[in-house]
Amino acid sequence: MAAEIVNPRSDNGAGAEQEAGGQPLDSFDPAFALHRGGKMAVQATVPVRDKEDLSLAYTPGVAKVCSAIAEQPDLVHDYTWKSSVVAVVTDGTAVLGLGDIGPEASLPVMEGKAILFKQFGGVDAVPIALACTDADEIVETVVRLAPSFGGVNLEDISAPRCFEIERKLQERLDIPVFHDDQHGTAVVTLAALRNAVRLSGRTLGELRAVISGAGAAGVAIAKMLVEAGIGDVALADRKGIISAGRTDLTPVKEEVASFTNKAGLTGSLEDALAGADVFIGVSGGTVAEDAVASMAKGAFVFAMANPNPEVHPEVAHKYAAVVATGRSDFPNQINNVLAFPGIFAGALQVRASRITEGMKLAAAEALASVVGDDLAADYVIPSPFDERVAPAVTAAVAAAARAEGVARR
């Protein structure tokens, strides 16, 4: 029998139905039951039991702390929640597999992200859904909110605006700005690929990878694989393989063309897969079985679209030595929750001013190392519920931040 879901802010159902878009809502559906009233709340960390507590938590005692921070601004990290809280910011334009559904409809996802920060990294997070989609307006808004936070996690913002927003925010802020759809996905993908390589006895430098999708995740994965030393990687968008010879590329894709596809491949995704060692899917759609069959012997297939992988595991296993997806009901789930809580925990721990490539590479190495000697074809990446994950990533990121000179304590 399923456990009863109890939300203290819920009216506890009573089976009442509400209308949404003309369709009745089933209040007994466990998803609606869990979300009723929201999934998070603010909780005090100090008691206010009497007049003395009140005078310390608020006026007049709080004035001493405010005055001290006014004289020494860095004290804000010691005497407020700033050093342990992240803003989870979205405009609702690229939500999960739902697309542009707007800020209100994105809030359940942002709340979910916030509770994952807390559950898996011990990091407090506040969901912020913005009612604007202009890149400069989003930047200006977040800059004005930034004094309250120790970091900014950008979430579910459509490409190519997400690249511009992240870059401009990091240029203007001295706290970490991290677009999880890009970098979290890239970190976990690299960790899984490192272990797949270790299992096969090869090296990253021997591999040629093909990425289906040139949006936020695809571009970030390509950059990280190049940083990690992969032999070659090519990306394909809806019009085919991204190459320097194409005249229809956006500025972001032009940049991608400058450091990928050393083999000079042209044509379709299927053309690129012939003889490839790695397939990474972050685009949706379906890859034909004969294209998968044309890959190199002992290939790796990471088909990460949700809910339907680009290559179903049953098909992938016919040809690939290691198969991963984005789903929790198959082995080797590429799940961002393996990365972002520990990355932010490590960055906040040392008051890092940014999250560097070196910190992300260190996170991937640490995540891969958790698997250890238990490495197997169906176990190249740990479970999000493995309690070793967050401490390992946190420690590696903090150490890398110190080594790269972006730590301030």
**pLDDT (0 to 100) of residue 354:** 97
Cα(391)–Cα(289) distance, rounded to whole angstroms? 40
Q: How many degrees, rounded to 5, is the angle at CA 47 between CA 42 and CA 51? A: 125
Rounded to two decimals, the pTM is: 0.91
Annotation-wise, does 336 bind a ligand? no
> Residue 278's beta-bridge partner residues?
209, 300
**pLDDT (0 to 100) of residue 13:** 42
Which burial class, exposed, middle or buried, applies to 219 when counting CB atoms under 10 A from its CB (0-12, 13-18, 19+)?
buried
**pLDDT (0 to 100) of residue 21:** 52
The highest-level CATH class for domain 55-175 is alpha beta
**Do residues 79 and 69 lie in contact, with contact meaning Cβ atoms separated by under 8 Å?**
yes
Cα(286)–Cα(303) distance, rounded to whole angstroms? 10
Q: pLDDT tens across 299-323, in order?
A: 999 999 988 999 999 999 999 999 9
Cα(50)–Cα(40) distance, rounded to whole angstroms? 27
Cα(330)–Cα(254) distance, rounded to whole angstroms? 35
Structure tokens given for 321: 């030595």
Which residues does the annotation mark as catalytic? Answer: 58, 113
State the span(s) of the chain assigned CATH 3.40.50.720. 181-409
Structure tokens given for 87: 């803003």
Annotation-wise, does 181 bind a ligand? yes
Cα(215)–Cα(54) distance, rounded to whole angstroms? 51
State the span(s) of the chain assigned CATH 3.40.50.10380. 55-175
Nearest to 108 by CA among 8, 39, 26: 39
> Residue 379's beta-bridge partner residues?
376
**CATH topology for 181-409?**
Rossmann fold (3.40.50)
**pLDDT (0 to 100) of residue 14:** 41
- Cis amide bond preceding 307, omega within 30: yes
Residues in the chain, pLDDT under 50? 1-6, 8, 12-17, 20
Annotation-wise, does 137 bind a ligand? no
Annotation-wise, does 378 bind a ligand? no
Contacts of 123 (CB under 8 A, 6+ apart): 84, 85, 86, 117, 341, 344, 345, 348
Contacts of 128 (CB under 8 A, 6+ apart): 87, 88, 89, 90, 110, 145
Residue 92's region, left for phi above 0, alpha for psi from -120 to 50, else beta, is: left
Considering Cα of 306, then 260, then 219, then 368, what sign does the dihedral take?
Answer: positive
Annotation-wise, does 155 bind a ligand? yes
**Do residues 112 and 94 lie in contact, with contact meaning Cβ atoms separated by under 8 Å?**
no
Nearest to 207 by CA among 155, 131, 263, 160: 263
Place of tokens 């407090």: 124
Amino acid at 38: G
